[in-house]
Amino acid sequence: MQGTVKETEATKFNALAGEWWNPRGPMAPLHAMNGARTRWVLERLPQGKPLQLLDIGCGAGLAAEAFAKAGLAVTGMDAAPDVIDVARRHAAEHGVAVDYVHGGPEDLAPDARFDVVTALEVIEHVADKPLFLASLRALLPEGGQLFLSTLNRTRKSLIVAKYGAEYVLRLLPIGTHDWNEFVTPAELSGLLRRAGFTVEEVSGLGPRFPGGEWRAGGSTDVNYLLACRAI
């Protein structure tokens, strides 16, 4: 049975492993949005209890390290082996405790469970979206929280996130995104409900002005965040 990992996508991001922690390199957009998206997640977690968090599609650890620094017990998982190697080295060099694992969610032990799962800028890159979400549901107890961030499939996102970011501004390598794989909030909400989640909140995510600090809130026309809970 085909899993959730799209090997062409894993290979593409594996080639960028050495640039992941360069804030002015091809991962600059992730660096720019990371503070806003991780704060949004942390603000919605229960306080005063130890939480086990899985960051699936973690890349070299931008969000995973932020969550670990906030006091969560973090497992980071990614399908690109060289990227995971970079994540492990960076965490060790900076004294951040993250357990990094190579693979997709279906590769975890059948009894693996987490209080929280994050999949940030991931779902547009997986091989099978329903299977991916079902795999995440299997990792959460009833009431467990799932947070996603992704790109909306709109004309504006085609202009801004695809043509603008890749071809005009050259913020991303050409071919980073496939606009046809973007998913609207309504489509993603439907997929989540069928996978056993209830959607609690959807929020836009974007810069205050071109080149400015990113914040959660506002329009969902390009980037958005979604919070849901396992039922």
Proportion of the chain in helix, strand, coil states, percent, rounded to 5: 40, 20, 40
SS3 129: helix
Round to whole Å and give the CA distance between 154 and 112: 36
Task: At 25, list the tokens.
Answer: 């390199």
Count the neighbouring beta carbons within 10 Å of the beta carbon of residue 186.
Answer: 10
| DSSP alpha helix (H) spans, 111-228 | 129-137, 155-157, 185-195
Q: Which residues are annotated as a binding site for S-adenosyl-L-methionine?
A: 37, 57, 78, 120
**Residue 148 and residue 188 in contact, taking contact as beta carbons nearer than 8 Å:** yes
